[in-house]
């Protein structure tokens, strides 16, 4: 029997929403303070996902102010396909509020936003048999809206808000047979997270809760996947049902530390007596009947393409004059003349290696593992030396320094979960390689770059930065490190 590994999209990819068009599946996730926003993925089997773009990829759609806090920005998109068109609804929590963008193709281009004037987060879209569009939001309320203008035609109407746990959110409406189903998350997005469901004959209610709520929760278990919730349902062409959801993989001593953020998991769904039933989310499950693995794009970027890959993200903004692929062909040039600049990609595996080839010039630049502005580890080049610097809350400390000769250098961080004992979840080892060979500079405890220490809703992002002057990067390489099992 073929099986698949969870998570199906590793790293900081929370709040997944999925829809199917024919034999193709499309999925969107939250992006918070990072731009471009709302990453989009494609799959043919729900297991193998390839990023095909970002729905919010220009300032006219998403313009986050410089003072946008970490973990603000874009919350919980819902992705749907209706009447030949793709719809994505989401909330910019410090900006324009809830809005809709549309596209003929999921790769885009996506339209300018249409603002929907309803308070709340985690918006959902569903259409009834008469063509009316219903928008549900956390709380939980439902409103009938005009998707072309954003006008509220009816509501908001308070509806079922769960079993009494905190933070009823992430509502999704589905029409299944003669019933409408309302699936929500409740219990908060930490260890108490859960999924509950109710049904009614109309989106207006009245709502009947499932007798076995919550239908999914890992709270108070020792399962390796925790915080399971914020789920969405989809049917496969063979009639089977599946759930995508977020979860975490905490490691280390009590209370456990998760460093990759909330990731996207997949689990099968059964219908019994008119209700969906979901078992525990496992690290491995029997695979869906369809199995269409495809070749994922290389994780090494030589910066030879005419545009940046979809995976590169930056906090809040990425001004056009802060980066260039043409100033030095085959290199990515970052320029901090206006402000510090950072381009990174999500850490997606507990054990991995990231390396970058840098020509620092006369600037201050390097490789960073980032949770937010107050929690990051850096290996940087400036003034003829390479330093490892740790920023943990208000404390910034230079851990190590090593003199280097002028010229390009390779900076590397190795992240390993092996041999951490009762410490944090992993160890980060920083090294530099120049004309005189490779030198290991520092080994740091990974717990300080975790959600449990930093707080917030994101995960680690590894990338290149410049804080002074200009620097050029020849390539960036990210690889999963397959940890060897101990022999007995």
pLDDT per position as a tens digit, 392-414: 999 999 999 999 998 999 999 99
Q: What is the pLDDT of residue 486?
A: 38
For 270, other C-beta atoms within 10 Å of its C-beta total 11
Class of domain 314-480: mainly beta
User: Is 15 known to be catalytic?
Assistant: yes
Report yes or no: 64 and 35 within 8 Å, Cβ to Cβ: yes
Nearest 5°: CA angle at 32, between 78 and 235? 25
CB hemisphere CA count around 145 (13 angstroms):
28
Classify residue 224 as exposed, middle or buried by CB count within 10 Å of its CB (0-12, 13-18, 19+). Answer: middle
Q: How confident is the model at residue 435 (pLDDT cuts 50, 70, 90)?
A: confident
User: Is 433 known to be catalytic?
Assistant: no
Catalytic residue among 45, 122, 169, 378: 169
Decide if pLDDT at 488 tops 60: no
CB hemisphere CA count around 290 (13 angstroms):
20
Q: How confident is the model at residue 436 (pLDDT cuts 50, 70, 90)?
A: confident
- For 146-193, write each residue's pLDDT tens digit: 999 999 999 999 999 999 999 999 999 999 999 999 999 999 999 999
Decide if pLDDT at 484 tops 70: no
- For 196-249, write each residue's pLDDT tens digit: 999 999 999 999 999 999 999 999 999 999 999 999 999 999 999 999 999 999
Class of domain 3-286: mainly beta
Q: How far apart are CA 168 and CA 386, in angstroms?
A: 48
Q: How far apart are CA 24 and CA 46, in angstroms?
A: 9
Decide if pLDDT at 361 tops 70: yes
Report yes or no: 88 and 474 within 8 Å, Cβ to Cβ: no
- In the predicted model, what is the mean pLDDT of residues 414-441? 89
Decide if pLDDT at 298 tops 90: no
Q: What is the pLDDT of residue 280?
A: 94
Mean pLDDT, the chain, rounded, equals 95
Q: How far apart are CA 84 and CA 22, in angstroms?
A: 11
Q: How confident is the model at residue 483 (pLDDT cuts 50, 70, 90)?
A: low
Q: What is the pLDDT of residue 2?
A: 87
- For 92-139, write each residue's pLDDT tens digit: 999 999 999 999 999 999 999 999 999 999 999 999 999 999 999 999
Q: What is the pLDDT of residue 480?
A: 93
- CATH 2.115.10.20: which residues of the chain? 3-286
Decide if pLDDT at 420 tops 80: no
- For 40-49, write each residue's pLDDT tens digit: 999 999 999 9
Decide if pLDDT at 487 tops 60: no
Nearest 5°: CA angle at 35, between 477 and 17? 95
In DSSP terms, 380 is beta-bridged to 366, 387
- CATH 2.60.120.200: which residues of the chain? 314-480
- For 18-70, write each residue's pLDDT tens digit: 999 999 999 999 999 999 999 999 999 999 999 999 999 999 999 999 999 99
Q: What is the pLDDT of residue 362?
A: 85
Query: Are β-strands 409-416 and 332-335 bridged in parallel, bridged antiparallel, or unpaired?
Result: unpaired
Decide if pLDDT at 485 tops 60: no
Q: How confident is the model at residue 333 (pLDDT cuts 50, 70, 90)?
A: very high
Q: How far apart are CA 417 and CA 426, in angstroms?
A: 4
Q: How far apart are CA 79 and CA 24, in angstroms?
A: 13
């Amino acid at each position: 029997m073929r099986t698949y590994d969870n998570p199906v999209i590793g790293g900081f990819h929370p709040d997944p929403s999925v829809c199917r068009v024919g034999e193709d599946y499309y999925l969107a996730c939250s992006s918070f303070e990072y731009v471009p926003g709302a990453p989009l993925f494609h799959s043919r089997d729900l297991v193998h996902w390839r990023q095909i773009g970002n729905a919010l990829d220009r300032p006219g759609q998403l313009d986050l102010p410089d003072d946008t806090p970490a973990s603000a920005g874009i919350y919980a998109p819902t992705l749907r396909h209706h009447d030949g068109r793709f719809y994505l609804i989401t909330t910019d929590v410090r900006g324009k509020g809830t809005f809709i963008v549309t596209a003929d193709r999921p790769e885009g281009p996506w339209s300018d936003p249409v603002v929907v004037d309803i308070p709340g987060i985690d918006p959902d879209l569903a259409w009834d048999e008469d063509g009316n569009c219903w928008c549900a939001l956390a709380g939980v309320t439902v409103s009938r809206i005009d998707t072309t203008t954003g006008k509220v035609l009816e509501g908001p109407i308070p509806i079922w808000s769960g079993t009494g746990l905190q933070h009823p959110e992430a509502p999704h409406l589905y029409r299944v047979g003669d019933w409408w189903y309302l699936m929500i998350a409740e219990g908060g997005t930490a260890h108490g997270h859960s999924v509950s469901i109710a049904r009614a004959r109309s989106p207006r209610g009245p709502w009947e809760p499932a007798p076995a709520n919550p239908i999914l929760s890992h709270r108070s278990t020792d399962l390796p996947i925790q915080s399971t919730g914020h789920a969405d349902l989809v049917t496969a062409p063979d009639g089977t049902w599946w759930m995508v959801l977020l979860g975490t993989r905490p490691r280390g001593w009590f209370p456990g530390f998760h460093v990759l953020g909330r990731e996207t998991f997949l689990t099968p769904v059964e219908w019994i007596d008119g209700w969906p039933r979901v078992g525990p989310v496992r690290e491995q499950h029997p695979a869906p009947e369809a199995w269409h693995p495809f070749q994922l794009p290389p994780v090494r970027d030589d910066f030879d393409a005419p545009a940046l890959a979809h995976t590169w993200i930056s906090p809040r903004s990425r001004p056009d004059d802060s980066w260039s692929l043409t100033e030095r062909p085959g290199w990515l040039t970052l320029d901090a003349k206006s402000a510090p600049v950072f381009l990174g990609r999500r850490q997606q595996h507990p054990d991995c290696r990231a390396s970058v080839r840098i020509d620092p010039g006369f600037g201050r630049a390097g490789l960073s593992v980032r949770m937010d502005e107050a929690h990051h580890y850096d290996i940087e080049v400036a003034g003829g030396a390479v330093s490892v610097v740790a920023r943990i809350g208000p404390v910034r400390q230079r851990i190590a320094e090593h003199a280097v000769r002028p010229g390009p250098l390779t900076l590397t961080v190795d992240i390993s979960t092996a041999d951490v004992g009762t410490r944090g979840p992993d160890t980060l080892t920083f090294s530099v390689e120049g004309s005189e060979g490779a030198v290991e500079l520092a080994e740091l405890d990974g717990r300080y770059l975790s959600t449990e220490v930093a707080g917030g809703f994101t995960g680690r992002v590894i990338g290149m930065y410049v804080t002074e002057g200009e620097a050029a990067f020849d390539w960036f390489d990210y690889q999963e490190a397959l940890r060897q099992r101990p022999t007995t």
